Amino acid sequence: MRTKFFDLPLRFQIIIPFSLLIVALTVVAVSFGLPLASKATSQNVDLKLENARSHFLLLLDHETTQLDRTAALLAQDAELAAALAGGDRENLSEALTAGAQGAFDALQVTDAEGATLVGVGGHAPLPADTLTRLGRAASTHDGGAIVSSSSGHMLVVVRPIGPRENPQGFVATGRLLSRLLTNLRSDVDAELAFYVDGQLAASTFTNQHSEVQDLVALPFEVAAGSGSVRKGSVIDGRSYAATYNRLDIGDGASVDYAVFVPRSKVWPADMVVASGLAAILIIPLVLLVLGFAIARVIAARLERVVVAIERIGDGDFQQRVNLESSDEVGRLAQVVNRMAARLHEAETSKAEFLAMASHEVRTPLTLIGNASELLLDASDGADEASRRELLEIIAGNVERMNRRVADLLVLARMDAGHLALRTRPADLIPLVVEAAESVRPMLTAKGQSLSLALPSSLRPVSADPDRIQQVMLNLLTNASRHTPPGTRVCVRVVSAGDEVRVEVDDDGPGIPQTQLERLLDGQQRPFGKDAGGLGLLIAQRLVALHDGRLWATSEPDRGCVFAFALPYSPEGEEGRKDEDTVGG
């Protein structure tokens, strides 16, 4: 016999497609792994270079800002401006020394023509022609440039003293590129180089075997102005990935710079390939183990649902699936639990209905059986009056049993939600009068009196007249049945706000509070000879189907009041036709 796929256990149904998918993915990964590894290596190099370049530019901008801030503070110093205006070089030197902040390699004050007046000792002096050129540029914008000095190329910032249109002089601050790059090297974690006019101006490289200028020469493409260039370089036997770029320093001037990242700090191609192949082999194995474990967990949870369904199918309606989750299996468990609860409720209702039916028909059947036996035993010697009395007993109990069966059917239809109401705007007073008059002969036969307290008129209610009369008949019959002869039964109709109330009051012995609560509990089934039969339960449910309510009050030896209330019809519905409403 061939085994079909869906005949396999669920865990295998899950793991087999999962395994095939992993095998297919492994084949694809091997096929494209090497090109992707090579591409990843290239992207990693580019990323490292770009990060180092961006970090370098950020730090360079910070250093330039520091120089500019120092020059700006000195240019705005009142004492320095006063000493410059008075030609007092001694006070000018003191003011310059006192106001100097931060690290710098050149700090000088010039006159309006750019000639140096004073500089802080120990720092590289800037040439007069350079200061004159930068001073003229600073009169129109903030002066900044990379210039040559006796100590090497320097990053210089110049600020005017006094009004920019007519400055008294200028403050110049500068940093040697060699020192600046050395300080930035550790933060950037790369080697750095600056080029001026296509020639190496400063770098962080140190070597003992050859000239640095030859090793890190600016590529021709960059020197020709073709933009950013990335290439590999070998300097002193060490491999680097390098990026060469041009930096605009203002006033149409620009310089070139380079960032060198050692290859040892980026992924080697062979390491990438080895890592990729290892991942290709290990990851599928891990996924297979993980998939099998997940499949077992899912199958175990579904097995719990299957076991519960089988037990419910065997009649154990109290069986429940204990799964607390919001996924499909958890929702399936919740559906099974709701199904089991409804089946249990239906089974309970069926048992109660059968018990109620057997109880309600047992007494009439017993009386019919007894009367039939007596009639058979005395068939020859009984007179006509005795036979007639026995036949009346049989006929009365047959009628009683018919009423019980009809009540049981009405209750069953309500439980199943199949009882249809034909509601329409109705005047409640004629319905109450008709029901009262129909039971008056029964009350008169027992020596009971019936009185009505009715208003002259009422607004219509939306109701099924036949069902409302059935409610009235049940309440009046119960009042007559449970009060002794010679007592009084009164029916009152009262308008109260948006509803009308109908009260059936008797002066019988009353009902104990505990029994009264049980009678009014819509979930209880009335059993026993003192339970009031089915009439009250049916009346309560019929009133509920009309969006009304039924209640009762009682005091010992002072009688009971059973009452119900119905809402008035909404405005504008007085002329509405009959409408079928299905209630449950």
Measured between alpha carbons, how far is 482 from 76 in angstroms, rounded to an integer?
111
The Cα angle at residue 104 between residues 76 and 108, in degrees rounded to 5: 50
In this model, does residue 80 exceed pLDDT 70? yes
Give the global pTM.
Answer: 0.42
Residue 527: what pLDDT? Answer: 43
Lowest mean pLDDT across 14-28, 144-158, 464-478? 14-28
Measured between alpha carbons, how far is 506 from 554 in angstroms, rounded to an integer?
10
In this model, does residue 6 exceed pLDDT 70? no
How far the first Cα of the chain sits from its last, in Å, is: 52
In this model, does residue 123 exceed pLDDT 90? no
**Structure tokens of 13?**
């149904």
**How many other CB atoms are found less than 10 A from the CB of residue 468?**
26
Residue 564: what pLDDT? Answer: 94
* Mean per-residue pLDDT, 388-409: 74
In this model, does residue 292 exceed pLDDT 60? yes
Which band of pLDDT confidence, cut at 50, 70 and 90, is reported for residue 339?
A: confident
In this model, does residue 368 exceed pLDDT 80? no
For the chain, domains (ranges, CATH) are 1-313 (3.30.450.20), 317-416 (1.10.287.130), 419-583 (3.30.565.10)
* Mean per-residue pLDDT, 207-221: 62
Residue 42: what pLDDT? Answer: 72
User: Percentage of the chain with pLDDT > 90?
Assistant: 9
* Mean per-residue pLDDT, 28-42: 67
* Mean per-residue pLDDT, 261-268: 71
Q: What is the 3-state secondary structure (H, E, C) of 50-86?
A: HHHHHHHHHHHHHHHHHHHHHHHHHHCCHHHHHHHHH
Which band of pLDDT confidence, cut at 50, 70 and 90, is reported for residue 452?
A: very high
Residue 7: what pLDDT? Answer: 64
Residue 159: what pLDDT? Answer: 84
Measured between alpha carbons, how far is 171 from 96 in angstroms, rounded to an integer?
9
Residue 353: what pLDDT? Answer: 66
Which band of pLDDT confidence, cut at 50, 70 and 90, is reported for residue 155?
A: confident
Residue 578: what pLDDT? Answer: 47
* Mean per-residue pLDDT, 463-470: 89
Which band of pLDDT confidence, cut at 50, 70 and 90, is reported for residue 241?
A: confident
- Nearest partner of 177 among 304, 344, 60, 311, judged by Cα: 60
Sequence-ordered alpha helix ranges (H) in 76-208: 78-86, 89-99, 128-138, 177-188
Task: Give every strand in the sheet of 199-203, ordered side by side.
Answer: 199-203, 191-196, 253-262, 238-250, 229-235
In this model, does residue 86 exceed pLDDT 90? no
485: phi then psi, degrees, rounded to nearest 5? -60, 150
In this model, does residue 234 exceed pLDDT 80? no
Residue 94: what pLDDT? Answer: 79
Q: Which residue has the tokens 């600020």?
A: 159
Which band of pLDDT confidence, cut at 50, 70 and 90, is reported for residue 1?
A: very low
* Mean per-residue pLDDT, 344-362: 71
Residue 166: what pLDDT? Answer: 79
569: phi then psi, degrees, rounded to nearest 5? -65, 140
* Mean per-residue pLDDT, 313-333: 81
Which band of pLDDT confidence, cut at 50, 70 and 90, is reported for residue 211?
A: low
- The chain-wide mean pLDDT, for the chain, equals 77
Residue 121: what pLDDT? Answer: 55
Residue 431: what pLDDT? Answer: 92
In this model, does residue 229 exceed pLDDT 60? yes
Residue 549: what pLDDT? Answer: 92
In this model, does residue 503 exceed pLDDT 90? yes
User: Percentage of the chain with pLDDT > 70?
Assistant: 77
Say which residue, 189 or 573, is predicted with more confidence: 189
DSSP string, 112-130: TTS-EEEE-TTSPPPPHHH
Measured between alpha carbons, how far is 175 from 168 in angstroms, rounded to an integer?
24
- The helix or strand, by DSSP H or E, that contains position 452, with its residue range, turns out to be strand 449-453
Which band of pLDDT confidence, cut at 50, 70 and 90, is reported for residue 87?
A: confident
Say which residue, 314 or 224, is predicted with more confidence: 314
Residue 432: what pLDDT? Answer: 92
- Nearest partner of 191 among 213, 214, 216, 222, judged by Cα: 216
Residue 209: what pLDDT? Answer: 46
Identify whether the C-beta of residue 52 lies closer than 8 Å to the C-beta of residue 230: no
Please return the burial class of 35, using the count of CB atoms within 10 Å of its CB with bins 0-12, 13-18 and 19+: exposed
Lowest mean pLDDT across 56-60, 129-133, 228-232, 418-422? 129-133
Residue 576: what pLDDT? Answer: 43
Cβ neighbours of residue 415 closer than 8 Å, sequence gap 6 or more: 349, 353, 584
In this model, does residue 434 exceed pLDDT 60? yes
In this model, does residue 575 exceed pLDDT 60? no
In this model, does residue 309 exceed pLDDT 70? yes
Which band of pLDDT confidence, cut at 50, 70 and 90, is reported for residue 200?
A: confident
Lowest mean pLDDT across 87-101, 279-293, 306-320, 474-488? 279-293
Which band of pLDDT confidence, cut at 50, 70 and 90, is reported for residue 530?
A: very low
Residue 224: what pLDDT? Answer: 64
In this model, does residue 554 exceed pLDDT 50? yes
Measured between alpha carbons, how far is 433 from 450 in angstroms, rounded to an integer?
11
Residue 261: what pLDDT? Answer: 85
* Mean per-residue pLDDT, 450-479: 90
Measured between alpha carbons, how far is 449 from 505 in angstroms, rounded to an integer?
12
Could you list the beta-strand ranges (E) of 218-317: 229-235, 238-250, 253-262
- DSSP state at residue 575: T
